[in-house]
Copies of this chain bind each other. A is one copy, B any other.
Amino acid sequence: MDPGRNQATLPMTASRKARIDPQVVAFARRTATMSASEVRALFAVASRPDVVSLAGGMPFVQALPMEDVAATVREVVEERGAEALQYGGGMGHPDLRRRLCALMAEEGVSASPREVVVTDGAQQGLDLVAKVLLDPGDEVVVEEPTYVGAISAFGAYEPRFVQVPMDGEGLVVDELEAAFRRGVRPKFVYVVPNFHNPAGVTLSLRRREALVALCREAAVPIVEDNPYGMLRFDGEPLPCLRSLDPGNVIYLGTLSKVFAPGIRIGWVLAGAPVLDHVLLAKEAANLCSSSLTQLVAEAYLGGDRWRRNLGALVDVYRGRRDAMLAALREGFPPGARWTEPRGGFYVWVTLPDGLDAAALLPAAVERRVAYVPGTAFYPDGRGRDRMRLSFSYPPEEEIREGVSRLAALLRDELARGGGPAQ
């Protein structure tokens, strides 16, 4: 590896007085693929109060009844303190795993607590599944575009990414089949079937059936990541891939959108050989998830309030999606296209020819609006003509204002010929 080159892509976080010298200490080869995500680079910008951030994918946790949650956490410590403050087993608390199975049943997924390992958000699920399956040079199929956190989680294990295109029905399964025919033999196929991040599309029923049949035939496991499935605004739910083929699908869930990301609770649902390895990798990675936040999640999922709160949140998100789509239709220039999500957090925009979302970002921030350039969602630098807009966090009027600022920028750019923004 070339530590000098690698170093150049890294942010400055700590004292440069330090003596451990990148010219002397060779970092592991896997670090060559690690670089600060464009999402992180936007954190500082997006937090400026005058900037409308359509960048981050933060749930609107302010809608939760804080006094109720506060009472829950107090009760957990008062009544189960010795357990909540202690180490727990690596698989996660049995009571929580039972609740997670009940939650999955709401989406038609049948699961037993002994098939579940609790993780620190679904992100840790991505990391652990990759850790137990990927050797350097192995192929892994992801959607085009794909979740930025999957690129970083998988990337640490040095696979070769094979991106398969999506359209309005989600992953184009014929293209996957063509890839298999070309000799692509991935360790797994990673998909976000519901309200895709960043693409905003949902895998259709016939594509779901075709995908599981193709992968079963090819003996290639599917990793199904379903953070947004319960955030549906309209239309009927579609079956999870896991319920279509439990034997060949590793399912990743999270409470980040159903409850709150600050508790860092996700899970892996898988059959024995995979789950056994994931459990060992989990213990090696951080022993166990927080007993406190596991018991808080368990208590929160008891009764029916989670359902009420989630229903209220979905109403909020639906209104924000509508506001964003209306603003896009009203203001975005001809030639721009975007997806119309029926749930989730994201709209995926394709810019008119000649506009470059990565190059335009500084100008956008100058106009007090932020987004994530499409390049974040490709491992190879493509996607410059795309941008991800999130409607989950800002109120509707800010969404309208933000989209309007962005629309003005795009129109101005097109008027001056569409070159780079600076």
How far apart are A114's CB and chain B's nearest CB, in angstroms?
5
Some 9 contacts from A to B, beta carbons below 8 A apart, are: A16-B272, A28-B138, A43-B89, A58-B86, A64-B85, A66-B78, A83-B262, A152-B284, A153-B285
Which residue of B17, B131, B274 is within 8 Å of A247 (Cβ)?
B17
Alpha-carbon distance between A399 and B133 when the two chains are bound, in angstroms: 43
Alpha-carbon distance between A263 and B274 when the two chains are bound, in angstroms: 27
A272/B86 contact (C-beta < 8 A), A81-B69, A283-B152 known: no
161-187 of chain A: CB within 8 A of chain B: 187
Q: In the complex, what residues of B have CB within 8 A of residue A89's CB?
A: 40, 43
Closest residue on chain B to residue A89 by CB atoms: B43
Closest residue on chain B to residue A113 by CB atoms: B14
Alpha-carbon distance between A13 and B97 when the two chains are bound, in angstroms: 13
Which residue of B25, B67, B284 is within 8 Å of A221 (Cβ)?
B25
Q: In the complex, what residues of B have CB within 8 A of residue A82's CB?
A: 61-62, 66
Q: A272 and B28: CB pair below 8 A? A: no
Which residue of B149, B261, B272 is within 8 Å of A85 (Cβ)?
B261
What string of 1s and 0s marks CB contacts (under 8 Å) between A240-263 and chain B?
Answer: 000001111010000010001111
Q: In the complex, what residues of B have CB within 8 A of residue A131's CB?
A: 28, 30, 156
Q: B11 and A276: CB pair below 8 A? A: yes
A378 interface contact, C-beta 8 A:
no
Residues on A facing B (Cβ under 8 Å): 3, 7, 10-22, 24-31, 34-37, 40, 43, 56, 58-59, 61-62, 64, 66-67, 69-71, 73-78, 81-91, 112, 114-115, 119-121, 123-124, 127, 131-135, 138, 149, 152-153, 155-157, 187, 216, 219, 221, 245-248, 250, 256, 260-264, 270-277, 279-281, 283-293, 296
How far apart are A71's CB and chain B's nearest CB, in angstroms?
7
Q: Which 5 A-B pairs have the closest CB atoms?
A: A18-B271, A19-B247, A85-B260, A262-B291, A70-B77
Which residue of B37, B135, B250, B274 is within 8 Å of A283 (Cβ)?
B37
Alpha-carbon distance between A88 and B256 when the two chains are bound, in angstroms: 12
Q: In the complex, what residues of B have CB within 8 A of residue A91's CB?
A: 13
This chain: copies in complex: 2
Alpha-carbon distance between A260 and B76 when the two chains are bound, in angstroms: 15
Q: B264 and A153: CB pair below 8 A? A: no
Alpha-carbon distance between A207 and B106 when the two chains are bound, in angstroms: 60
Q: A115 and B272: CB pair below 8 A? A: no
Q: A156 and B61: CB pair below 8 A? A: no
Q: In the complex, what residues of B have CB within 8 A of residue A11's CB?
A: 276, 279
Of A3, A74, A127, A248, most buried by chain B (CB within 10 Å of CB) is A74
Q: A264-B286, A290-B293, A292-B292 are in contact. List 14 more A-B contacts (CB 8 A).
A: A7-B276, A12-B276, A14-B115, A18-B247, A21-B273, A27-B133, A28-B132, A37-B283, A61-B81, A66-B77, A69-B81, A69-B85, A73-B77, A123-B286
Of A85, A119, A124, A284, most buried by chain B (CB within 10 Å of CB) is A284
Q: A85 and B263: CB pair below 8 A? A: yes
A19/B286 contact (C-beta < 8 A), A34-B280, A277-B34 known: no
Alpha-carbon distance between A285 and B21 when the two chains are bound, in angstroms: 25
Q: B85 and A284: CB pair below 8 A? A: no
Alpha-carbon distance between A98 and B73 when the two chains are bound, in angstroms: 25
Q: A19 and B248: CB pair below 8 A? A: yes
Q: A18 and B286: CB pair below 8 A? A: no
Q: In the complex, what residues of B have CB within 8 A of residue A17's CB?
A: 247, 271
How far apart are A147's CB and chain B's nearest CB, in angstroms?
12
Alpha-carbon distance between A19 and B220 when the two chains are bound, in angstroms: 11
Q: In the complex, what residues of B have CB within 8 A of residue A81's CB?
A: 61, 64, 66, 69-70
Q: A292 and B263: CB pair below 8 A? A: yes
Q: A280 and B31: CB pair below 8 A? A: yes
Alpha-carbon distance between A121 and B88 when the two chains are bound, in angstroms: 13
Closest residue on chain B to residue A280 by CB atoms: B34
Which residue of B28, B155, B219, B283 is within 8 Å of A134 (Cβ)?
B28
